[in-house]
Structure 1
Amino acid sequence: MTDTALTPAAGNPTAVVPAGTRSAADVVTPELVARLVRGIAGDGELVTRAPATGEVLATVPRAAAGDVDAAFERARAAQLAWATWPLARRAAVLLRFHDLLLSRQDEILDLVQLETGKTRLHAYEEVLAVAVGARHYGRKGPAYLRPKSHTGAMPVLTKVRELRQPKGVVGQIAPWNYPLELTVGDALPAFLAGNGLVMKPDSGTPLTALWARRLLIEAGLPEDLWQIVIGAGSVLGPEIIARADYLSFTGSTATGRTVAQGAAARLIGTSLELGGKNAMLVCADADVAKAAAGAVRACFSSAGQLCVSIERLFVHESIADEFLKRFAARTKEMRLGAGLAYGADMGSLSGGNQLDAVVRHVDEAVEKGATVLAGGRARPDLGPYFYEPTILDGVEKPMAVCEDETFGPVVSVYRFSDEDEAVRRANATPYGLNASVWTRNGRKGFALAARLHAGTVNINEGYGPAYGSAQSPMGGMGDSGLGRRHGAEGILKYTEGQTVAHQRLLPLAPSMGLDDAKFAATMTRGLRLMKAFRLR
């Protein structure tokens, strides 16, 4: 694939940025593919393509149900030994991976771009997120998992320790939109907690996951601990659900419900990051120029194909005209392309299904009276799945784009008169993944954020600060999912809490001549004393 030229969107006066010269064949060589698929089972073949051009990238093994069973057997055998490694030794693998990733980032940036069609800067966001997560869990993870002492039933006489045991083998079903961060980024805490992993990456983006696996093995991970099976979710998904000790899924809400039902039937835990219809609130006192620039990042990064992307934009009526003028101008100046170099502002959609959804939402809204302030057209001159970054005004129910997730470069604009109204309208959705608030008043920003029904809220930015805060939980409310990644919750979910209590000297029962009544009276006095001394 010759690097796609960076081409101005409609009406954009900016000069065209020259294309690069490297092709897909220069990156995805037969030698690279052979190295990546070594040890990957499958009795069939699966062909992957570059969405920016539709060009064939690679042929990889296609797994069948029996391959999933064998993958779990290998992962279970490796996990038994891995779980005996000291925490510090496991953490050292993550820290070596961190260094390898940063030093060889150009390799994975090429693969992410080729497999997704996104720009290099947006691909770099994945490298950044994974490196931050590897460093965080490599440094902080052992403290999350270290045995903890607690007050026992009888202080001094009862010694209690809380232990964290690995789940066993985690099953992970990963999406196509962030094929590095949402594969290895989620796998790292599972490994540190002592688990094995059987992962099904999306069929369109297997090379990125395979590359990450090879790099982690190079960093010291036992080779059999991370098994990858490639193929259709309808075939492999049920097989993974039937065998895993815990399930991690990122994808649509509809599929997430199916995964949750399968996990519930087996009484195993699951974490789900699902859809969103994320809102951005621009208050009357916001810095309009900064908010307009931030809206471009919030709405159009990775062509809007990220779960935390903004799709609903609420702007105070007193600044709406100025804001929209600036926002539309910036959007029209965006350069489209997916060349293997920095410089483009937005890349391609991932495939025909995403393009169809975007076209359907925009065309229906326009037919029913919405106005296109910028964009609104497919760009087959650039590649099969390019679509211009699009701003819609005048969106109302029952337009599908009003309430349904688009998952593309489309944002609808709404005006509000007071902040209570903005919060109410932002919360009027079953989703609750991410939100954004723009104001010059930090205290007001935090107060508004606390009222929004969303797992993460960013003040004066779209999604990066909350997602990049690795010590803090990230996940959704409502139809946006269950569980959290990052921080303590992001690693403890991969463990079983175990309480070990050692009773010393005296039993927790009548003894030393006390009958039942005197034992009860003694314990009652003890309970009152513990309350008085503020023991917990």
Structure 2
Amino acid sequence: MTSTAESHARTTGPLGGIASAPPATRAAALTARVADGHDGDPVRTTAPFTGQPVGTLPQATDAGARAAFARARRAQPQWAALGVHHRQRVLARLHDLVLDRQREVLDLIQVEAGKARLDAFDEVSATALVAAHYARHSARILAPRRVAGVLPVLTRAAEIRHPKGVVGIVSPWNYPLALTAMDVLPALAAGNTVVQKPDNQTALSALWLHELAQEAGLPAGVWQVVFGRGSRIGDAFVEESDHLCFTGSTPTGQDLAARIAPRLAGYSLELGGKNPMLVLADADVRQAAAGAVTACFASAGQLCVSVERIYVHEDIRAEFIREFVARAGALRLGAGLDYTAGMGSLTSPEQLATVSEHVTDAKAHGATVLTGGRPRPDVGPLFYEPTVLTGVTDRARLFREETFGPVVAVYGYSGVDEAIARANDTDYGLNASVWCGDTRAGRAVAARLKAGTVNVNEGYAATFGSVALPMGGMKRSGVGRRNGADGLLRYTESQSIAVQRGLRLRPARGVPATVWTRALTAGLRALRRLPGR
């Protein structure tokens, strides 16, 4: 990386003007890490907690973004040649650096995204888990895989994996550290190079991880970071990526998929969700209510897997609502860079507008607000209270549209089949949650839900933190999976190699086809009975 972008880096005072925030010089140093080609008009970012300036980010041109891809393509063969064990050691060192220097990035995440500090720590822990997982398991997952050949002993068959080349990654603003790690690190572990476009609002958190990766031994040029609007540099990502990884809205993901299709290049998309939580009749009400507070209001509801719909059995509905509303109403809103706040801020004026519009519309169509339901400018410009509604009808936007904020609707149900049907009655299928006393019954319910991840007696953290499990969406919630073996193998091309010895797979000269086919038929019958076939 070069420092030619330093002239574009501008900050005003401490980040966001918040006491104890990282100094402006730190923001400038991180911003200076972006690659050449950032000659577009710079963009100023502001802190959600205060609305005050954080810094000014350089913006790439289309030519600059394509130049980053060219540099990454030149660096890729050498990076792949270093071997998977070398790459694992880089990730292991990165894991240690992230944990050792977490305080710095906790401040960055809070200042850029407006999160409560505990929610910011979720990103640190997720990043460490992902780095550790691929540092330990990449070699095993990528190892050549022997399979049964067509003829025992005589056919030696194996599957091997090759890196795709250059992976383009478009990262969202809501989980700038964790989602950078979940997408970038396995791409690097597989032997690819990466060009990443983080969202301008939370770019410093991604740059912080990039800096630590280079300290851990990642060669220059292997992971390129570019800033810019999709309207300016989106074509470069669509046209230059050997695999494109995108996290964001469903309409944007559909557009990208349509544009990539003519190139026959690979892509993985994590898109929207309208995630349900089912509280079964035998659930512990207090535990379910406490779990719902985290599931609905962590990161102010700006989490792709957060819960926006709760279905509670009628036998315990009133008790659950009392407990849940009391806990939600007791959440402390705050903007400090410490662990005192229960919930932070929304990240952008656009999110505040969406949340406000959804609640107002739901009320206009007969919904009742049990707690919350209003912005809190007295705390900060983008704060909105944790909000619980009942009586939301199918005429309200909130009923089906993703809100992506601290708002949840609670519904009652009489039978499990009804609850499952209503939970599945959505175009989305990203995450779901089931709360129960009998976990065997809970697992059975979970298996009937149309969602890529389902948590039993948890909101989202059980699957989110189990990084050996794949994570992704069904229906309009996405294509492909991150985490686990799938999260690594999506960045590879499989190649099958079979070596034939001795007997040919066609009749030898002079052997009639009728004799050959009868013999082969008998052989096929025998093969079916062999173990491992």
Please give the range of the TM-score, normalised by the shorter of the 2 chains: over 0.9
Moved more, 493-502 or 43-52: 43-52
- Are 1:485 and 2:458 matched, yes or no? no
- Are 1:43 and 2:39 matched, yes or no? yes
Q: Where does residue 303 of structure 1 map in the other structure?
A: 300
- Are 1:207 and 2:204 matched, yes or no? yes
2:35–2:225 Cα contact (<8 Å) kept: yes
Matched residues in 1 for 2:325 and 2:338: separation? 26
2:156–2:500 Cα contact (<8 Å) kept: yes
Matched residues in 2 for 1:484 and 1:210: separation? 24
Which amino acid is 2:355 matched to?
V
- Are 1:156 and 2:147 matched, yes or no? no
2:14–2:24 Cα contact (<8 Å) kept: no
2:453–2:463 Cα contact (<8 Å) kept: yes
Matched residues in 2 for 1:60 and 1:322: separation? 50
2:375–2:383 Cα contact (<8 Å) kept: yes
* 1:85-484 aligned within 5 A: 85-484=82-481
Matched residues in 2 for 1:361 and 1:465: separation? 29
Q: Taking structure 1 as reference, are residues 355 and 35 closer, same or farther at Cα in structure 2, changes over 3 Å only? A: closer
1:28–1:57 Cα contact (<8 Å) kept: no
Q: Deviations over 1:480-535 (max 9, x none)?
A: 11111111111111000001111112332222753433332222221111012245
Q: Deviations over 1:57-87 (max 9, x none)?
A: 1122210000111101110111110111121
Matched residues in 1 for 2:33 and 2:415: separation? 59
Secondary structure of 1:254 counterpart: helix
- Are 1:34 and 2:29 matched, yes or no? yes
Unaligned runs of 5+ in 1: 5-19
1:120–1:338 Cα contact (<8 Å) kept: no
Identity of aligned residues (%): 53
TM-score, normalised by the number of residues in structure 2: 0.95
1:68–1:236 Cα contact (<8 Å) kept: yes
Q: Which of 67, 70, 80 does residue 67 from structure 2 map onto?
A: 70
TM-score, normalised by the number of residues in structure 1: 0.94
Which amino acid is 1:363 matched to?
T
1:54–1:384 Cα contact (<8 Å) kept: yes
1:36–1:214 Cα contact (<8 Å) kept: no
Q: Taking structure 1 as reference, are residues 39 and 312 closer, same or farther at Cα in structure 2, changes over 3 Å only? A: closer
Runs of 4+ residues over 4 Å off in structure 1 = 1-4
Moved more, 291-300 or 520-529: 520-529
Q: Which of 499, 502, 512 does residue 502 from structure 1 map onto?
A: 499
- Are 1:527 and 2:510 matched, yes or no? no
Unaligned runs of 5+ in 2: 1-12
Q: Taking structure 1 as reference, are residues 69 and 78 closer, same or farther at Cα in structure 2, changes over 3 Å only? A: same
1:184–1:213 Cα contact (<8 Å) kept: no
Secondary structure of 1:61 counterpart: strand
Q: Taking structure 1 as reference, are residues 54 and 469 closer, same or farther at Cα in structure 2, changes over 3 Å only? A: same
Q: Taking structure 1 as reference, are residues 62 and 21 closer, same or farther at Cα in structure 2, changes over 3 Å only? A: closer
Q: Deviations over 1:109-136 (max 9, x none)?
A: 1111111000110011011111111111
1:455–1:477 Cα contact (<8 Å) kept: yes
Q: Which has the higher contact order (CA 8 A, sep 6+)?
A: 1
Matched residues in 1 for 2:15 and 2:276: separation? 34
Q: Deviations over 1:324-379 (max 9, x none)?
A: 11111111111101211112110110111100000000011112221110000101
Matched residues in 2 for 1:154 and 1:314: separation? 55
Matched residues in 2 for 1:411 and 1:21: separation? 30
Matched residues in 1 for 2:192 and 2:456: separation? 36
Q: Deviations over 1:172-216 (max 9, x none)?
A: 111000001111221111101010111111111111111111111
Q: Note the C-alpha offset of 1:259.
A: 1.1
Secondary structure of 1:183 counterpart: helix
Matched residues in 2 for 1:143 and 1:534: separation? 24
2:335–2:345 Cα contact (<8 Å) kept: yes
Q: Taking structure 1 as reference, are residues 3 and 218 closer, same or farther at Cα in structure 2, changes over 3 Å only? A: closer
Which amino acid is 1:458 matched to?
N
Q: Note the C-alpha offset of 1:475.
A: 0.6
Number of aligned residue pairs = 519
Matched residues in 2 for 1:393 and 1:133: separation? 38
Matched residues in 2 for 1:236 and 1:516: separation? 60
1:172–1:198 Cα contact (<8 Å) kept: yes
Q: Taking structure 1 as reference, are residues 529 and 196 closer, same or farther at Cα in structure 2, changes over 3 Å only? A: same
Which amino acid is 1:58 matched to?
G
Secondary structure of 1:388 counterpart: coil
Q: Deviations over 1:397-417 (max 9, x none)?
A: 110001110000000010111
Matched residues in 2 for 1:86 and 1:2: separation? 42
Secondary structure of 2:428 counterpart: coil
Matched residues in 2 for 1:444 and 1:106: separation? 42
